[in-house]
Amino acid sequence: MTRTWFITGTSSGFGRLLTERLLARGDRVAATLRRPEALDDLRAEHGDRLRTARLDVTDTAQVGQVVADAFADLGEIDVIVNNAGYGVFASVEEATDEQIRRVIDTNLLGSIHVIRAALPHLRAQGHGRILQVSTAGGQTTYPGFAYYHASKWGIEGFCETAAQEIAPFGIALTIVEPGATPTGFGTALDTAPPMPEYAATPAGEIRQALTDGTFVLPNAPEKIAQAMIDLVDSGAAPLRLPLGSDTYHDVRADLMARLTEHDGQRDAALSVVSDETEAP
């Protein structure tokens, strides 16, 4: 069964890998990116099964127009993949206002705009899948990535809510959480001038690991792209799809620690229940 996919951020990384694999197996792809010429080689090979459009997901009006045009040209679109992203590495004091604004505008607001633009079309056709590419850092945290985490934790909260709202319309949403992977994301991270005060802190240690190449990237990008395709093919629709050894172990450890801490505050939580309410 061939499908039609709409994918953002297809110039490199998971977006490019997904586009290559889907076209190779005969699917149609509406690929969006800042520089459409980056996919000229795939267009030459696959012809009109690849539709490209220039898109900056931080431009709300452009998002709406590009999504509407894709549905108008292609008819039904089966899968929306929100993949476009921007990464910034800096301690909370080091990041600039511009960097903070860009990571929120791209990863959080940009993803929200794409979903909002697609939903009327998906509702009208009565089916569809949304894959929201997040990260292990949408459920756990690492020093130096506070603003990246803010955007990813934000989009995960949005998607959890949206998934409940759109399920009655036959639309499923899955948050995909890849771990650290050699996709070029690390080398493309935006950074800020380091403050010497943070050199001997966890943030400084991670900065050094990124600089000298010792930061561990345990996962295979091709396998992650294929796992996303396999999920859609299977028909399964979990709310989250953790991908990677670091994602699985780090997120699990963080969830267990949070639950332990949460349970430790049970008495305090219930102590503020009003006298007129029977505490569970």
Report how far Cα 42 is from the mean position of its chain's Cα atoms.
Answer: 24
Q: Which residues are catalytic?
A: 134, 148, 152
At 103, list the tokens: 């990571």
